């Protein structure tokens, strides 16, 4: 009997503990859902704005967004951001009151509290006035109405407002919550960084980084603080982790140029000199990025991966040089007839052109495929480096030279009739022994250029020239030489005769033979008895 009473007491105690635990969890979840709504103190002027908006049913969802913001908790209401002087460019009186408000709060308003962040942004490439560039694609093909919700919707991040401030903070920080969680979502960056010319969100989604985020990111607290030189608290990076967030060694920054060592979106790749007097050299910027990468990766992986990406950029330049050669040659011969009006060219032969095949190939090989080739290599997007990148670049080159042959260029005609694979490599090559991922003893397809006895000597001279011209750092040159001096190891050649390797290789050859036999029987040699319906 006494034992039953003890069991009842234990059951009662555990029941109470369970109820208390559930209440705590429920309270936490409610608070998490309500965020700051229960903690805010609404002042008189903000209450007037809220009441009017609710009565008129205007942007009421933004009231709820503000109520959940840190601004609301800190007592920052409507007029702290929307106050205006009578002569301000965006001053207006609310229709239902005599309150003077600013229609467009600008970075100058944000700088009242966030001066450092606004200044950092203003010095970044995000704020760079791309409208300064003479973009023939916009001025010729894209009708003005199309750019209003096209180019301008994204490039308004570079707006110079009438008050002299630059940018638009709510491009990343949503009105009116100004949520860190929203700003950190890869899809926020993907609003602009996507599509055929800069598919960064697509590249991220293909990468292991994006894969981990999709699998686990829903459980991460994306509102973390990175201003205290603490470890990055998430397992894999999102866009801002690499380009903005801080860690133990790097401060948080709104200057996305602070860690970029290469201009890889331009017609040619080159080491960045953007705001060099304040941000330092490209080597300093690269060191910043590497210190972020090393939050998750070993130094040798980071250094090898980024060196390979740098060599991809240099390889693009050599391919670009070939496009420039053919475009200039065909223009000088009069085979390309430049688009001209009022005595001037509207499309530069080195930049782009529109009305003939070589001009289009030149443009796409920079603005689309050339960017994908480079950006894929920088952001772990293998398919964008390969099939959407260099494969398409080679296709464009073939199409350009074939067009030249069809239009009477003798050199191009000779190229078309040449059946040696070397025709597809009319430019100098960069390479690195092996890769960052490990040692492979059986590469799927050995490049035919490896058959040249002086291949690695040629490549070495190209890499050394890049180093001597300051395009590669001394550390990068030493890393490259370390791999060059151990070619057989990094290419896996010295391990081909290992018994374990031979055993694995023979097993897969046997399986491949069986697979090939089935392929030939069930597909290649399968003959159907029925006469084709199209036969006469």
pLDDT band at 41; cut points 50, 70, 90: confident
Integer Cα distance of 120 and 254 in angstroms: 5
Does position 34 have pLDDT exceeding 80, yes or no?
Answer: no
pLDDT at 340: 63
pLDDT of residue 15: 59
| pLDDT tens digit sequence for 261-276 | 999 999 999 999 999 9
Q: φ, ψ for residue 101 (rounded to 5)?
A: -130, 160
Q: Residue 534: its pLDDT value, please?
A: 83
**Could you tell me if 106 and 161 are in contact, meaning their C-beta atoms sit under 8 angstroms apart?**
yes
- What is the rounded (10 degree) CA torsion for 188, 179, 164, 240? -50
Q: What angle do CA 207, 211, 213 make, to 5 degrees?
A: 115
Whether the predicted pLDDT of 449 surpasses 60: yes
Nearest Cα to Cα of residue 279 among 123, 87, 118, 439? 123
* pLDDT for the residue 344: 62
- pLDDT band (50, 70, 90) for residue 19: low
Residues 233 and 221 sit within 8 Å (Cβ to Cβ)? yes
Q: Does residue 191 register a pLDDT over 90?
A: yes
Spatial separation of the C-alpha atoms in residues 341 and 345, rounded to whole Å: 7
Per residue in 456-493, pLDDT (tens digit) is: 999 999 999 999 999 999 999 999 999 999 999 999 99
Which of 168-192 are b and which e, b meaning 16 or more Cβ less than 10 Å from the residue's Cβ?
Answer: bbebbbbebbbbbebbbbbebbbeb
Element (H, E) at 91: strand 91-93
Domain extents in the chain: 33-104, 106-171, 298-427, 428-519
Among candidate residues 125, 131, 432, 401, the one with its CA nearest the CA of residue 272: 125
**CB within 8 A of 423, min separation 6: which ones?**
415
Q: How far apart are CA 383 and CA 302, in angstroms?
A: 20
The total of other beta-carbon atoms located within 10 Å of residue 279's CB is: 21
Report the C-alpha gap between 459 and 429 in whole angstroms. 6
Which residues are CB-neighbours of 131 under 8 A, at least 6 positions away?
Answer: 155, 158
The SS3 assignment for 303 reads helix
Strand partners, 447: none
pLDDT tens digits for range 390-411:
999 999 999 999 999 999 999 9
- 54 vs 44: CA distance, rounded Å: 15
Is residue 33 within a helix (H) or strand (E), and if so which, with residue range?
helix 2-34
- Burial of 222: CB neighbours in 10 Å, binned 0-12, 13-18, 19+: middle
pTM of the model: 0.88
The Cβ-side half-sphere exposure at 354, using a 13 Å CA radius, reads 13
For residue 31, what pLDDT band results from cuts at 50, 70 and 90?
very low
* Phi, psi (degrees; rounded to nearest 5) at 341: -155, 140
- CA neighbor of 269 nearest in space, from 327, 311, 307: 311
Query: Does 21 score more than 70 pLDDT?
Result: no
Residue 243: its pLDDT value, please? 97
433-451 mean pLDDT: 86
Record the tokens describing residue 495, joined without a space: 């391990």
Residue 442 has a pLDDT of 75
In angstroms, the CA 285 to CA 125 distance is 14
CB 379: neighbour CB atoms within 10 A?
Answer: 21
CB 284 within 8 A of CB 311: no
Q: Is the pLDDT of residue 313 over 80?
A: yes
Angle at 373 between CA 209 and CA 154, to 5 degrees: 75
pLDDT digits (tens, 9 = 90+) for 334-362: 898 776 656 666 555 445 466 789 988 99
φ, ψ dihedrals at 529, nearest 5°: -80, -25
**Alpha carbon distance 299, 301 (integer Å):** 5
Buried b (16+ CB within 10 A) or exposed e, 408-430: ebeebbebeeeeeeeeeeeebbb
> For a pLDDT cut of 90, what percent of the chain falls above it?
73
pLDDT at residue 4 in the model = 59
Mean pLDDT value across residues 168-180: 92
> Which of 41-50, 149-158, 196-205 holds the top average pLDDT?
196-205
State the pLDDT at residue 518.
98
Please give the mean pLDDT across all residues of the chain. Answer: 89
pLDDT band at 6 (very low <50, low <70, confident <90, very high): low
Model confidence at 148, in pLDDT bands (50, 70, 90)?
confident
pLDDT at 5: 61
pLDDT, residue 339, reads 63
Residue 251 or residue 7, greater confidence: 251
Average pLDDT over residues 1-22: 58
The token pair at 354 is 């529109």
Helices in 68-126 by DSSP H: which ranges?
A: 70-73, 78-82, 107-110, 115-122
pLDDT confidence band for 97 (50 / 70 / 90): confident
- 3-state DSSP assignment of residue 6: helix
């Amino acid at each position: 009997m006494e034992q039953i009473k003890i069991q009842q007491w234990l059951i009662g105690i555990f029941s109470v503990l369970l109820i208390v635990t559930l209440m705590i969890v429920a309270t936490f979840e409610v608070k998490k859902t309500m965020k700051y709504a229960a903690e805010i103190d609404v002042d008189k002027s903000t209450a007037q704005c809220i009441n009017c908006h609710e009565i008129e049913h205007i942007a009421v969802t933004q009231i709820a967004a503000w109520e959940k913001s840190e601004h609301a908790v800190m007592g920052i209401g409507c007029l702290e951001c929307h106050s205006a002087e009578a002569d301000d460019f965006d001053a207006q009186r609310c229709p239902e009151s005599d309150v003077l408000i600013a229609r467009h709060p600008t970075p100058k308003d944000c700088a009242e509290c966030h001066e450092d962040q606004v200044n950092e942004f203003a010095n970044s490439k995000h704020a760079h006035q791309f409208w300064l560039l003479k973009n023939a694609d916009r001025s010729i093909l894209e009708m003005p109405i199309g750019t209003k919700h096209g180019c301008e919707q994204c490039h308004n991040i570079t707006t110079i407002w009438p008050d002299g401030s630059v940018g638009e903070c709510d491009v990343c920080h949503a009105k009116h919550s100004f949520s860190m969680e929203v700003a950190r979502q890869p899809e926020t960056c993907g609003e602009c960084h996507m599509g055929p010319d800069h598919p960064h969100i697509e590249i991220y989604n293909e990468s292991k980084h994006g894969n981990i985020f999709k699998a686990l990111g829903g459980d991460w607290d994306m509102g973390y603080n990175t201003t205290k030189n603490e470890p990055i608290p998430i397992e894999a990076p999102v866009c801002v982790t690499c380009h903005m967030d801080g860690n133990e060694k790097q401060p948080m920054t709104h200057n996305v140029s602070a860690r970029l060592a290469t201009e890889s979106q331009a017609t040619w790749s080159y080491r960045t000199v953007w705001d060099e007097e304040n941000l330092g050299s490209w080597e300093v910027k690269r060191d910043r990025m590497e210190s972020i990468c090393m939050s998750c990766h070993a130094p040798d992986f980071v250094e090898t991966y980024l060196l390979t990406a740098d060599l991809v950029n240099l390889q693009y330049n050599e391919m670009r040089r070939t496009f420039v050669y053919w475009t200039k040659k065909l223009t000088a011969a009069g085979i390309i007839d430049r688009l001209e009006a009022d005595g001037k060219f509207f499309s530069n032969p080195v930049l782009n052109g529109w009305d003939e095949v070589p001009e289009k190939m030149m443009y796409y090989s920079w603005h689309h495929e050339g960017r994908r080739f480079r950006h894929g290599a920088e952001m772990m997007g293998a398919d964008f480096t390969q099939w959407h990148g260099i494969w398409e670049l080679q296709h464009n080159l073939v199409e350009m030279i074939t067009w030249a042959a069809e239009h009477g260029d003798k050199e191009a005609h000779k190229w078309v009739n040449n059946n040696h694979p070397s025709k597809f490599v009319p430019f100098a090559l960069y390479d690195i022994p092996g890769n960052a991922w490990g040692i492979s003893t059986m590469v799927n397809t050995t490049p035919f250029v490896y058959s040249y006895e002086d291949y690695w000597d040629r490549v070495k001279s190209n890499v050394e020239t890049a180093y001597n011209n300051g395009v590669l750092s001394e550390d990068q040159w030493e890393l490259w030489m370390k791999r060059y001096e151990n070619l057989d190891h990094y290419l896996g050649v010295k391990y081909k005769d290992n018994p374990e390797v031979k055993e694995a290789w023979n097993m897969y050859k046997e399986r491949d033979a069986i697979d090939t036999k089935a392929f030939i029987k069930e597909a290649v040699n399968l003959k159907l008895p029925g006469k084709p319906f199209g036969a006469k």
